[in-house]
Amino acid sequence: MTIRALIFDRDGVLTDFDVEAATRFFQPLLPFSVWELAQEWQRFGERHGFPTSLAAERTFFAAFWDELAAQHHLAEEARRRLHALDYTQFVRAYPDAAPALRLARQAGYRIGVLSNFSLASLDASLAAAGLDDLVDATCAATVIGAAKPDRAAYEIAALALNVAPHECYFFDDEWLCVEGAMVSGMQAWLVDRRRRCPAQITNVIPDLSAIAALLHSPSCPIRSVVARQVNESCVTSHL
């Protein structure tokens, strides 16, 4: 079976959120933590609907900051700084992300990102992380109207890359999303950066450095090449 494309989740696979930097920014402005802010943001989105375009996203954030400022009696300067915030400044690429994407591109594979991101600015977040030039197509759930593990989400991502699902490798840090990819016909792996190592899961890789082994010998099941690394790492971490 010929593989023509690699599709990655964003959060936990390609990028991480810099909580420390976000805390430094928000702490002087808000009377609660970053985690509580995230909960407020989620509730606001559930009430009003998450944005499906960049224009709608700007309106969404403006309304959110205004509501938050009114509810918590924030100072005008705090409200102004919140309005001016570009959240993508807190998005960080994992050190192994760009090398893995670059290697795949050099080998001739098309590269996609499929994320259950609830904003429309997936491209901007990848640009902030320095990964946008290495990605051919991006699919954010709110924009495409389908979310993992819905089969439609994977099919839309494959179509965006002009390939069939069975021509894709897929990588995610949530097992439910990995299962959804396999149901759609993709070959899929769990990226287990936290080394949780569920015993029943064999198609797992420790991080994106394992991509090199996969692309070097695509005819071999990746678990025979790299799963042993995960297991050995887990054993070591428990000694």
The span from the CA of 114 to the CA of 14, in Å, is 11
Whether 133 sits among the annotated catalytic residues: the reply is: no
Q: Measured at the alpha carbon of residue 59, what is the angle toward residues 58 and 61, in degrees to the nearest 5? A: 65
CA 202 from chain centre, in angstroms, equals 22
Q: Measured at the alpha carbon of residue 40, what is the angle toward residues 34 and 45, in degrees to the nearest 5? A: 125
Residue 163 Cα distances to 48, 144, 185, 218, angstroms: 35, 17, 12, 17
Catalytic residue among 9, 173, 192, 207: 9
> Which residues does residue 91 pair with via DSSP β-bridges, in sequence order?
17
Exposure string over 216-238, b if 16+ CB within 10 A, otherwise e: eebeeebbebbbebbbeebeeee
Question: Whose CA is closest to 89, among 163, 181, 22?
Answer: 22
Active site residues: 9
